[in-house]
Amino acid sequence: MITGAGSGLGAALVRGLVAAGWRVAAAGHRVPPAEAGGDGNGEVLACALDVTRREESVSVVASLLERWGRLDLLVNNAGVTMDRLLAGMRESEWDAVIDVHLKGAFFCAQAVLPAMIRQGDGQILNVGSFSAKQGSVGQVNYAAAKAGMMGLTLSLAREVAEHGVRVNGVLPGVLPTKMTAALSESARDSLVRANLFKRMNSLEEVVSLVVGLAETRNVSGQVFQWDSRIGRWA
C-alpha cells in the first residue's frame, strides 16, 4: 500500500513495484489509472484515501486484507507543502502539513500493524526529507513534520522488531516532481548545488532502493539518505 500514489514519487513507486511482481494498492486523493499502471506481472488497485482521516485508513486496509489476505509493505509517501516564513505562517498551514505527513503516517501505520504482527512479517517505509536534518527557510512546518516522521520510524522499529516487522525511512533527495517544479529557479539551483554531483536525483534511483528494501528481512530502524548532500542532525 502506497499513499500519495497519484503522481510523482508515489506513482513511480507503484509502477516499479508492480513491474517487480507486487500487488499494489495505490492510495490517494487522485490516483489516475494511467499514473498507477505498471508493465510487470503484478496487480494494481486504486484506492481513495485521505490519510488525515483515521476511519479511511482503517477501511482501506480492511478492504485490502479482505481482497489479498495479507499486507507486506506500507509506504507512507503522502505529502503536501504550504511554505511561508514562520512569522506569517497561518495555524491552518501548520496543521495541514503536520496532519498529512505525520498524523497520516501514524494513522496508516496503526491501521496496518495488527495484520503485520499476526503475519510475523511486514515493513513500514516512511518517506522523509533532507529538510528534517538541515532545516529549510520557509518550511518550518514541513521540516518539523519530516523530523517527526523519522522519530516515529526509529521508535516504532524498536516497538515491533520482536514481531518480525521492519520500519525504515528514506530521504529521497531532490526529485523532478510537481513539488520541486513549484520552486523558484534559484531555489532549485541551490538544492542542486548542495549535491556533490550537482544534479537532481532520479525517480528510478529511489524506486530501486524501495524495491530492494521491500524484499529485505534483516534491515530495520534505518534512515537512508538517497542522494549526495552532506549534513548532520541538528
Band of the pLDDT at 133, cuts 50, 70, 90? confident
Give residue-wise pLDDT tens across range 201-217: 788 889 999 999 999 99
| The length of the chain, given as a count of residues | 234
Assess whether pLDDT exceeds 60 at residue 36. Answer: no
Give residue-wise pLDDT tens across range 79-104: 998 999 999 999 999 999 999 999 99
User: Please, what are the domains in the chain?
Assistant: 2-225 (3.40.50.720)
CA distance 216 to 214: 6
Assess whether pLDDT exceeds 70 at residue 161. Answer: yes
Give residue-wise pLDDT tens across range 179-195: 666 666 766 676 777 77
Task: Give this prediction's pTM.
Answer: 0.88
Q: Which is more confidently placed, 124 or 196?
A: 124
Active site residue 142: yes
Catalytic residue (one of 102, 105, 142, 150): 142
CA distance 153 to 160: 11
CA distance 163 to 25: 23
